[in-house]
Chains A and B, each alone.
Chain A
Amino acid sequence: MISLAEAYFFLCAFVAVVGSLTVVASRGPIRSAMGLFLVIVAVAGLFLPLHAQFLAAIQFIVYAGAVVVLLLFIIMMLGPDAIPASDRRGLFARVLGASVFIISGTFALALSNHALSALHSSFPQPKMEASFGGIDSFGMILFTDDVVPLELSAALLLVAVVGVLAVAQGHVNGSGKVLADLRATARRAALRADEARGRST
């Protein structure tokens, strides 16, 4: 007989794994974005039994509300070009790299679970205040102990905004020739690739 907590964990874990497999395996990027949404919701659900209510809310607002919407926005903007035609160039290298990654990851998983089970690390049950992981304790820490990282992350976000504006604008005054050269190079490379593909088939 499994308890309610276990059922909840395994439900969320199942949703997260299914979502991540959707991200990786589906052909269209919109389905991938929906899979990412599933992962985000499931992870936010898993934060709740870990006494991280504020993080669960942030997860919803920032990831599901901003990041997924931004991704969908870009995918819609690119339209059908967001699904490039598939070809099998470099398949061996990709599969080799992925399998090496998976094998080493499986070993790391087995090792870490072995090491962790030696710790008898089921969760301790201290008398926790209800506010642990809530917005009040978070705010207290963010504005006392961790105020420097908080300000640094604010600066990072500002720099990211400026960088996004500069990059997405397309061209800056004076670098128009550079961009034209790059375009010509890209066109030539695409032509060469097409020729090579035509020869190989």
Chain B
Amino acid sequence: MISVEHYVALSSILFMIGGLGFLVRRNVLVALMSIEVMLNACNLAFVAFNRARISPVSASAYGGASHAGQIFAFFVIAVEAAEVAVGLAIVLAFYRLCSTVRSDDANHLKN
């Protein structure tokens, strides 16, 4: 029987892999993709908890908090689309400036 622990365990494993990629990789594009993996993991946890906390009363009603986790995941997806667009624009501007996409070459504010 699949329970919410399975989903939370998978979600935290995905989050860890994404965080690992964000910390280790210096390609800015790969760092952006790692952030997306982490956000997907968060969404999975939100939806799994929403499914686990449904009560028979609220499941039949539209309003209230019956869809709270799913609505939150929906807004995470919206914010994430904006984040990717802005992040890629910054990557593009950075590439125009330095002709590279390595994150540790972005040190113009140093010294």
Contact B16 A126 (CB under 8 A): no
> Could you tell me which B residues sit within 8 Å of A by CB distance?
1-10, 12-21, 23-27, 29-30, 32-34, 36-37, 40, 43-44, 47-48, 50-52, 54-56, 59-60, 62-64, 66-67, 70-71, 73-75, 77-86, 88-93, 95-102, 104-105, 107-108
- Check B78–A156 contact: CB distance below 8 A: yes
A114 CB to closest chain B CB (Å) equals 10
Q: How far is the CA of A155 from the CA of B71 in the complex (A)?
A: 17
Residues of A within 8 A of B43 (CB): 43, 55, 59
* Known A127-B56, A142-B71, A164-B85: A153·B4 in contact at CB below 8 Å: no
How far is A29 from B10 in the complex, measured between Cα atoms in Å? 24
The verdict on A140 contacting chain B, using a C-beta distance below 8 Å, is yes
B6 touching A9 by the CB < 8 A rule?
A: yes
Chain A hits for B88, CB < 8 A? 70-71, 74, 164
- Give which listed residue, A50, A66, A164, contacts B47 with CB less than 8 A: A50
Q: How far apart are the CA atoms of A89 and B92 in the complex, in Å? A: 24
Q: Which of A97, A159, A167 contacts B90 (CB 8 A)?
A: A167
Describe A's contact surface by its main secondary structure.
helix
Which of under 10, 10 to 19, 20 to 34, or 35 or more describes the interface residues of A?
Answer: 35 or more
Asked if B56 and A24 sit within 8 Å, CB to CB, the answer is: no
Residues of A within 8 A of B (CB): 3, 5-6, 9, 13, 16-17, 20-21, 23-24, 29, 32-33, 35-36, 39-40, 43, 46-47, 49-52, 54-55, 58-59, 62-63, 66-67, 70-71, 74-75, 77-78, 81-84, 89-90, 94-95, 97-98, 101-102, 105-106, 108-109, 112-113, 116-117, 121-124, 126-129, 132-133, 137-138, 140-142, 144-146, 149, 153, 156-157, 159-161, 163-164, 167-168, 170, 179, 182-183, 185-186, 189-190, 193
